[in-house]
Structure 1
Amino acid sequence: MRRSGARMDASLIGMGLYTPGEAGLLLGVAPGKIARWLRGHVANGKRHEPLWRPQIVLDGDIGLGFRDLMEVRVAASFIAQGLPPFRLRQAIVLARDAVGEDHPLSTRAFRTDGRSIFLQVAKHDGEAALIDLFSRQYAFRDVVERSLRHVDLDDTGRPALWWPLGRSRWVLVDPARSFGRPIEAETSIPVDALVRAVRAERSVEGAARAWNVPPRAVARALAFQGVMDERKAA
């Protein structure tokens, strides 16, 4: 989407912008699954509505904003624990009202009160397995904490920054910079720009000189890109 020449406007500044493919690579979630969650789909003659409304729609094509990325991370964790998507959809509807957010799963408030929301869903439908999964405090906390690892929340309890491979790898995603593309944290230069410089200069040292940055910054960008390339090849 970013590369297709789609028109950009001021409303997208600070929001981040990703195609399902780009989001899937960063998150380690199949792009097709992300697209189904955000577009909805038909299976066995039945229409399944989107889990939530995505932040961005350009020329009829769905894009993800940074908050969508964070919501997908949490949703994927719950579904991996065996929660059916239609039950997750019910929980999101309740959470929107309780938390007061269009993207409630990735907030500090949901981290605190989300367990009771899932219990409401479970008890309403009488599903013992769902009740068992989310009535145990440690089970719910483990799912949420793992899905929000390496996410920095702002003063309002909303996601502000994400370190996709952890802070020790020095690459972060900040929706306020470079349209949310991964950047090398020490220099704030997009990872893909540093990687292109290595290819052009044919060495880490040459790329570092070209950008006037420490070689370690270029090495970090290469290491991050290597992980992304492995995911793409898998």
Structure 2
Amino acid sequence: METENLIGVGLYTPAEAGRLLRISPGKLSRWLRGHRIGNKFYPPLWTPEISLGDERIFLGFRDLMEARVAGAFIAAGVSAIKVRAAIDTAKEVIGETRPLSTNRFRTDGREIFLHIIQKDEDGEQREHLLNLFRRQFVFNGILDPILKTVDFGSDGNPLIWWPGGRRLNVIVDPARSFGQPIDAASSVPTAVLAAAAEQEGGIRGAAKAYDVSEASVRHAVEFETMMEQRLAA
């Protein structure tokens, strides 16, 4: 993929993605590259949407959203093998290469379902729920927080992520700043505003320097502090 084609896709190294997702860069690399244990090779969970023609791993915005859900499942006790099987099943059913990043998933607290809308022989739409994990894990509270912090398009695909929750007004939008976290009101990267708060003598100076509200700077500082705390944890 050429660099000019990355607009609207987002571009993240495993380290950048790991900082946002609170998933180790090494784990993300294994998920997207595959890995070997002894004589057994475990293939990638999915193929990343970005390839710059070399051996390096990069994630796009859809990969970021896919990894977010995969990571939540794995943290809940689902093996990577079962997550891969669920991805493969969902790919086949809904025709999406990154199905976990869509809003097609539902849960009753114990099971994960894929929401499917199909036309019957009379041309009428009927809704179905496909069980992906067969009552083996407890999922209460996993999917709701994930779905609530993402804006989805009418096709069910993710458009914008609110990585600190909607209160902070910080978004990750692949169409702006190559998907880096930005202040939603001004589109200024949070890292820039947080750095300005240190260099310009505080919140008020940074707000004046970048012509943004003081609230935008405070939220950017809070968000960047939260990201640093995640790295230190």
Question: Fold conserved (TM > 0.5)?
Answer: yes
* CA spacing shift, 1:162–1:176, aligned 2, 3 Å: same
- CA offset at residue 200 of structure 1? 2.3
Q: Do structure 1's residue 31 and structure 2's residue 25 form an aligned pair? A: yes
Of the three residues 98, 102, 105, the one matched with 2:100 is 105
Moved over 4 A (4+): 139-142
Deviation per CA, 1:85-108: give whole Å up to 9, x if none: 112111111111111111001212
**C-alpha deviation, 1:68, in angstroms:** 0.5
CA shift, 1:110, in A, is 3.9
Pick the aligned partner of 1:48 from 42, 46, 66.
42
CA deviation after TM superposition for structure 1 residue 9, in Å: 2.1
Retained in 1: the 8 A contact 2:170–2:181? yes
Match of 1:17 among 11, 14, 18: 11
1:118 to 123, 132, 138: 132
Code of the residue aligned with 1:102 in structure 2: it is T
Residue aligning to 1:72: 67
User: 1:26, 1:193 → 2: CA distance?
Assistant: 16
1:133 matched to 2:136? The reply is: yes
Residues 92 and 146 from structure 1, CA distance in 2 versus in 1: closer, same or farther, beyond 3 angstroms?
same
Q: Is the 8 Å Cα contact of residues 35 and 41 (structure 2) preserved in structure 1?
A: yes
Q: Identity rate of aligned residues, in percent?
A: 46
Residue type of the alignment partner of 2:35:
H
User: Distance between the aligned counterparts of 2:31 and 2:131, measured in 1?
Assistant: 20
d(CA) in 1 for partners of 2:155, 2:87: 19
Q: Residues 164-203 of structure 1: matches in 2 within 5 Å?
A: 164-203=163-202
> SS of the counterpart of 1:217?
helix
Structure 1: distance between partners of 2:90 and 2:102: 10
CA distances 1:98-156 after superposition (whole Å, capped 9, x unpaired): 1111100121234462662525xxxxxxxxxxx3226xxxx557433333330110111
The CA RMSD over aligned residues, in Å, is 1.9
CA distance in 2, matches of 1:55, 1:10: 15
TM norm structure 1: 0.84
How high is the TM-score relative to the length of structure 2? 0.85
5+ residue gaps, structure 2, are 107-112, 116-128
- Higher mean C-alpha displacement, 164-173 vs 104-113: 104-113
Tell me if structure 1 keeps the 8 A contact 2:114–2:132: no
2:181 alignment partner AA: P
Pairwise CA distance, 1:8:
5.6
Structure 1 residues 70-97: Cα deviation after superposition (integer angstroms, max 9, x where no partner)? 1011111111222111121111111111
- Whole-Å Cα distance in 2 between the matches of residues 206 and 197 of structure 1? 8
CA distance in 1: counterparts of 2:141 and 2:130, whole angstroms: 15
- In the other structure, the counterpart of 1:63 is 58
